[in-house]
Structure formats: C-alpha cells, structure tokens
Amino acid sequence: MSIRKNYCSSCGAKVRKDDEICPSCGKPINDEMLYGNTRRIGAGGIGYSEITDHESFKAYKKFTGKIWAISIPVITIIVILASMFTGAGLTVGLLAGVVVFIIMLIVGLMIGRKKPGWDGTVIRKSYHRRRRDDGADDDTYTIFFRTDSGKKKSQVWKSHSGIYDYLQEGDRVRFLGNLGTQYAYEKYDKSEDDRIPCAACGTMMDPRYDYCTVCGCILLKGKTEA
C-alpha cells in the first residue's frame, strides 16, 4: 500500500503533493531516485536509538496538543447544541457539555502525560474480535511484556494492528515513556525488518527513511553495517 508523503523522508520538512524535490534539503521525494539499489533489509540496524529527545517529537506533541485543545471546546459546544435541538433543553445541554468537557480534558491529560520507560521482552500476544450491534467488527490487539525488572506490562490497540503485527514473541523492546504515545515501542534488532514503526503516529515506514513521511517525526533506528 502506497502512503502519501506529507513530509520528506530525508529531513522531515513539509512537502507538497506535487513536489519532486524537497524544498528544504533538495533531495528527491521519489524512492527510486533517492535509494536506488539500497536494500530495505538491514537499514533498520541493531540497537536502541539515542535520539528519542529529537526536536521533531516535541513539534509533533505540540501540534497534536493544539488539535486536542481545539477539539475539546468544539465538541462541547456541539453536544450542547445537539441537546437543545433534540428538545432536552438548555439545562440538560449545559450539563451534558460540562460532562463531555471534563471527560475529554481528563483523556487529553492522560494521553499527553509521560510514563516511566523500560526495557523488556514480548512474552505473549492476544487478538480479540467482537461484533458490535451495528454489525461492524471491533478489533482489539494486545501485547504482553515482561520488563527486565520482572514486572508485567501490556499495551492495547483498537483497530490498529501495525505494532501488534510488527512485534513478535521473544523480541527485545524498549518502551519510550517520554514520547507519550501508544506507539513508542522500539525493537532492539531491526536488521531483518522491511518496515519499522514511527514512534509518534505508529505508521509503518520504509527503514531506509530517516523521517516518517506521515507526521514528520524522526524514525528510531540502530547501528547499521558500515
């Protein structure tokens, strides 16, 4: 599946749909021109990255934070107006709006908060599909980890199987709590991977890329053979 490039894979700068050359670094946007016969396998390297405090992650969190801050009042107003138009009345609408506002604020704070990082191993994976009343499938993907200190951890994804499919039992991983995203899992040995995940948005990327072409964040890679 082809992923449209919003950002340059070489420098992370914003690019336009019809750009053939990055306006920032001057490198080709086309993979064939940029990488030629360079193999994808091996480009991910071995070892954990040392750039988890990169500026691109800070910019990403700042941008998503703004989107969330705008969404809270907009959705609150929509709930109030919807309650009024359905005949519930102003009082009920205001109450519903306050409840929605508080819930979204709490969720936003939880999403953005930093968590302690850890190193560990994938010990088990679990997939569950539930058929909703409207006939749609509700997929849940869960990975269980054991940290080096012996604690058990787990991560659940809803309808997003990228990291779930990527990580396998026995993989050594590092959870990057400082990034504050549910995709911030870096595998130690990426040398045999033809795709690696963006730790910010979770999109699976060509390991030859230096930056995610969807959100512009730098990709976490290990050392490669000289």
**String of DSSP letters for 65-108:** HHHHHHHHHHHHHHHHHHHHHTT--HHHHHHHHHHHHHHHHHHH
Using CA atoms, how far residue 128 sits from 25, 69, 180, in Å, is 44, 32, 25
Residues of the chain with pLDDT under 50: 1
Phi, psi dihedrals of residue 78, rounded to the nearest 5°: -60, -45
Looking at residue 65, its pLDDT comes to 62
Looking at residue 188, its pLDDT comes to 98
Looking at residue 83, its pLDDT comes to 80
Distance CA 211, CA 25 (A): 13
* Three-class DSSP category at 166: helix
Looking at residue 127, its pLDDT comes to 93
DSSP assignment letter at 116: -
Tokens of 61: 């969190």
Q: Where are the beta strands (DSSP E) in the chain?
A: 118-131, 137-147, 152-158, 172-175, 185-187, 196-197, 204-205
Long-range Cβ contacts of 64-70 (<8 Å, 24+ apart): 65/112, 68/104, 68/108, 68/111, 68/112, 69/108
Distance CA 20, CA 24 (A): 12
Using CA atoms, how far residue 205 sits from 14, 58, 150, 175, 199, in Å, is 17, 20, 31, 19, 11
Phi, psi dihedrals of residue 163, rounded to the nearest 5°: -70, -35
Looking at residue 66, its pLDDT comes to 62
Helix-helix angle 55-85:90-112, to 10 degrees: 170
Rounded (10°) CA dihedral 168, 173, 175, 181: -40
Phi, psi dihedrals of residue 152, rounded to the nearest 5°: -100, 135
